Structure 1
């Protein structure tokens, strides 16, 4: 019997924007039994980029064939390939110039062996929680460090990359390929949880608030409460608010007959 079972869900709210440009999904694959892929894409001005990111994620995950033992390097390659292919296809879209279909992206794979691999591009976030504690968070800081150390961009300029078309870390940027931050964690157990979310959610909460909301509620309840509180705190200026919540819980004890 597995050491845990998965409780998961996704949720979205348009906020105070004219349209919903985020996309989110939890995917399984016929060639990877027991694996789960969570995808969250946050669009800039358009849903074209997120739609492509979601489609590419599904296609490459469906084609992914696992071996007898989970292979973490291959999973990292899979997530990197999703980012690169989606980026290239977005740039090829004939209405790219007019619509600016850029997209931030967060990806998370869970394996049946208690492992997690996740990737991040842009202003989406991936959180790993242990109980009510925020154990790990991946965000744009890694990209700022990459710009400074690899591209030799001055620190102050690197911190302003969101406002620069030349430096923006997004899928579909014709000036720069996306930088992918990758993380791996092994030894998952009951009480662990993950949250993928767009900036319409995370900018309204502390890490500790998010961890507590996920730990104390089912994914559906947590999503409802977080969306309600985000709308309250945004005070009429809320962005699209999107999330995927994955909780690992202890399986029910076996009943002896």
Structure 2
């Protein structure tokens, strides 16, 4: 069955002095129906985090432009892109005397399937209609506590160490990279977003918005609600929405 893609990327600087998130969406130059979405949340002082996030998006898009499914699995493509971006960010520390780091979440949509990879706490959500099929598990201290049964997901949202990551691009150690795959069908919705967005929503509320509205309108609704709920203390807020329609 032929599918139509309704997609949108959006950002808000929040209440920060600088936008250090980066997000991108591109169609493959040769492969029909093959699309990459990538989002990165940079960290590392003035301009350092922004440069790290920019490196993630740039590296992913460069690698994707030469992607050939007959020669390389999509999961390997994304894993390589994250690792290469990590090495480039590490190298930049010696050039600009900063300490840049970044999260990364990437999605390749191609006929019949979706593949994603992530490192850090920027998330990917996969819904069928408004029903959550899965979302990526954060590489964070509070997620570790949740999995160990020491705190609840609700407690994680207000934990004082909720922003502490266990891995990221630019660390001295190689990044932890998780890869996932799924078949797709009409009515599937994907959301990539930074913690400046997902921190203010339940999974069910996100699914309801994605199922009920076109991508651009859904992006506006989610960002506006996040801004209302952050009470003047909002982080950079970025997202990419991809909706599959018959």
State the TM bucket, normalised to the shorter chain: 0.7 to 0.9
Count of residues paired in the alignment: 231
Inter-partner Cα distance in structure 1 for 2:207 and 2:85: 30
> For 1:220, what is the secondary structure of its paired residue?
helix
- Which residue is equivalent to 2:231? 235
> Against the structure 1 CA distance between its residues 15 and 179, is the aligned structure 2 distance closer, same or farther, given a 3 Å change threshold?
same
Conserved 8 A contact 2:42-2:101: yes
8 Å contact from structure 2 (residues 22, 41) kept in 1: yes
SS of residue in 1 equivalent to 2:244: strand
Among candidates 124, 134, 156, match of residue 122 of structure 2: 124
Could you say what secondary structure the match of 1:99 adopts? Answer: coil
The verdict on how the C-alpha distance between 1:145 and 1:207 changes in structure 2, with shifts beyond 3 A counting, is closer
Runs (4 or more) in structure 1 with deviation over 6 Å come to: 142-146
In the aligned structure 1, how far is the partner of 2:199 from the partner of 2:163?
15
Report the counterpart of residue 213 of structure 1 in structure 2. Answer: 209
Cα shift at 1:247: 0.2
- Report matched runs for 1:139-158 at 5 Å: 139-140=137-138
Aligned-partner SS, 1:82 = helix
Closer, same or farther in 2 for the Cα pair 1:142/1:235, shift >3 Å?
Answer: closer
Distance 1:155 1:206 in 2: 19
User: Secondary structure of 1:210's match?
Assistant: helix
Q: Distance in 2 between matches of 1:58 and 1:200?
A: 23
> Is 2:15 the counterpart of 1:12?
no
1:84-163 alignment, distance < 5 Å: 84-94=83-93, 98-112=97-111, 114-140=112-138, 163=164
Residue 139 (structure 1) shift: 2.1
Q: Structure 2: which 5+ residue stretches go unaligned?
A: 151-158
Structure 1 vs Structure 2 CA RMSD: 2.6
Given candidates 217, 220, 225, the residue that maps to 1:224 is 220
Q: Which residue of structure 2 lines up, in the alignment, with residue 193 of structure 1?
A: 189
**Offset at residue 210 of structure 1 (A):** 0.5
Whole-Å separation in 2 of the counterparts to 1:126 and 1:101: 23
User: In 1, Cα distance between the equivalents of 2:55 and 2:241?
Assistant: 22
Match in the other structure for 1:54 = 57
What is the Cα deviation at residue 133 of structure 1? Answer: 1.4
Q: CA deviation at 1:18?
A: 0.4
Structure 1 contact 31–64 (Cα < 8 Å) conserved: no
- Structure 1 unaligned blocks of 5 or more: 147-153, 251-257
The answer on whether the counterparts of 2:140 and 2:166 sit within 8 Å (CA) in structure 1 is no
CA distance in structure 2 between the partners assigned to 1:181 and 1:31 by the alignment: 27
State the TM-score, normalized to the length of structure 1: 0.82
Q: Against the structure 1 CA distance between its residues 161 and 85, is the aligned structure 2 distance closer, same or farther, given a 3 Å change threshold? A: farther
TM-score, reference length from structure 2: 0.86
1:66 aligns with 2:65: no
